[in-house]
Copies of this chain bind each other. A is one copy, B any other.
């Protein structure tokens, strides 16, 4: 007993230095072993570079990282010395020893070479932002245990706009946020600028994220008042040297709400003039303001259709207002109407496809990865590949509204990869979604990808340590859509926990099967949208009484005595007809439809035979069983890591996995209890009956579930 005290006391002596509370994210600079310190130190004995604000940040990050990892400081020197890191800025192009052509505004090159007879590492970019991205890339190599003595890499993103979308409200709440309140302290801005804003910029710049939309797409007009523009400008000033631009979501009726205009008709000259003046006002405060994000005529938001105008009419009017300043408009395609009886999955396509070619050249249409709404799994959105004349921007959801919210470990890298690599067949094989959004398929210059942020004031930023990996994966894959989810998970785990392969391997293995586990215990075989109403927490496949048909889970699974699934084939809603003919042909046939999407496209009898040979009913149950079992296996794998993980983070993950297992069981049992009440079929041998009767699950309520918009 007594003997533990001195050790205890030593740890207790400087607890903050070692507190593993997750605040440092993947920028954690924990001391490495002697060999690691030697590996890093040899290539980072000093730093040579210029003095622009951005290059000073690059230098500080390198010095902070090197000092943290090795315990040795890398001084700034004026002359090149052996083992130096040279920051080759845009201004140094003339004397450049590393060519920067083709790197674009954000790319970088890192090369170990001999300069003035000394072995050095050159980090170069065509811009200072490029150099900063290179510095973060070098630190990533250092933290992940990569060799630093022979580097010759060039990296540039193909997608121009790599943005976070914050669904943050002006009152500090975050719609679908599960990591506490908004990190934007609107009330005390622009006066008080706490250190967290800078750490936010560091984290994003380290991934190459180059823009952030500050406020919820369900926007308040107030964010366009002079007071709030000044607040946004204060943030823009902090983010600018990190290569990050600020954008704002706008409410369509702002001209009426703020200045009493009689209409918000996009073709009304007074309305256009108001927006032009508003844009001028914003750019006066934020010269490099990025532009507007718009949710119009969607889920109750006003929009141009209220005036019998099209989305293009609306987008182009706004685009004209920001055009003189080099701004853009991101117009969301997430629309479906209560008075439209057609399959909800078809409505965005029906609305936007006819508008292809009608959008101004500084408009980009932002399309969710799937046609419904960020479900655990959705086939790629049919608009991808269907609007060749229009730049389309991807909208992923990083916050896990439907994937376990704040506690479930469900790594989204695999979801991102699955979507990006989906082949639209729009222009033959290889017409992947990635090529649509990076502009290469149709030759668009304006390209973008957005992630709905999972960031809040929780000390660990994202509500859990593993949720940080989703932010990381979004940023890394936005930079390079060729990256695999596994490679990204490996990078993240090495930086977040330890480069030790005995730590990285099991953690990556957990991450890589985690999202499929959630699909299995929530919505297997192409099921979707069977979650609880409003808060979207937990299972509720039985809900059928909501006002709008497409709000009800029963609308999506259509389970009955005979079978289950939504017939979207040409003999059904013909949503398949919205895909390229070659793909539609495959999707019209259950046998040539990927089984993971089976019930998304087909209504099938319970006796339908899956590829495994088992019936659809038995297979459905077995998927649910497998989902729960996989979480149990993740718990066992995590338990084995106890010796290698600090107590604080080990305990958090252990606790959250226990919650996930309990809730996976709940999803499995509630869904099976319901589907069995419909199918009247016995469970396959070996599958346990639900723990409670169906009514028990129906009676559960969650009045204080987080993230639920008021």
Contact = CB atoms under 8 A, between A and B. Distances in A.
A10 B67 contact: yes
Interface string A1-44: 11001101110111111010100100000000000000000000
A493 to B, nearest CB: 21
A71 B9 CA distance: 10
A710 B171 CA distance: 11
Contact of A10 (B73, B648, B710): B73
A170 B704 contact: yes
A12 B656 contact: no
Nearest to A47: B5
B73 A192 contact: no
A440 B50 CA distance: 72
Contacts of A67: 9-10, 12-14
Given A5-B75, A457-B457, A16 B16 contact: yes
A15 B2 CA distance: 32
Chain A interface mostly: loop
Given A16-B17, A457-B181, A191 B75 contact: no
A76 interface: yes
Interface in A57-84: 59-60, 63-64, 67-68, 71, 73-78
A407 B75 contact: no
B655 A192 contact: yes
Nearest to A170: B704
A704 B73 CA distance: 46
A695 interface: no
A683 to B, nearest CB: 29
Interface string A669-710: 000000000000000000000000000000000011110001
> Which of A1, A14, A648, A656 has most B Cβ within 10 Å?
A14
A649 B444 CA distance: 49
A9 B75 contact: yes
A14 B63 CA distance: 11
Contacts of A5: 47, 59, 63, 75-76
A648 B73 CA distance: 23
How many chain A residues sit at the interface, stated as a range, is 35 or more
Nearest to A537: B187
A51 interface: yes
A382 interface: no
Contacts of A9: 63-64, 67, 73-75
Contact of A15 (B6, B64, B75, B170): B64
Nearest to A14: B17
A659 interface: yes
A60 B8 contact: yes
B76 A195 contact: no
Contacts of A652: 192, 194
Contacts of A648: 195
A222 interface: yes
Contacts of A19: 16
A225 to B, nearest CB: 10
A610 interface: no
A148 to B, nearest CB: 19
A76 B2 contact: yes
A187 B655 contact: no
A274 interface: no
A60 B12 contact: yes
A68 B14 contact: yes
> Which of A6, A9, A10, A76 has most B Cβ within 10 Å?
A9
Contact of A2 (B10, B77, B406): B77
Contacts of A13: 63-64, 67-68, 71, 73
Given A75-B5, A76-B5, A181-B180, A704 B187 contact: yes
A188 interface: yes
A413 B190 CA distance: 30
Nearest to A171: B704
11 contacts: A2-B78, A5-B47, A5-B76, A6-B75, A10-B67, A13-B63, A17-B17, A170-B704, A191-B659, A192-B659, A195-B648
Given A13-B71, A172-B706, A195-B648, 9 more contacts: A5-B75, A8-B60, A9-B67, A170-B704, A194-B459, A194-B652, A222-B704, A457-B458, A459-B459
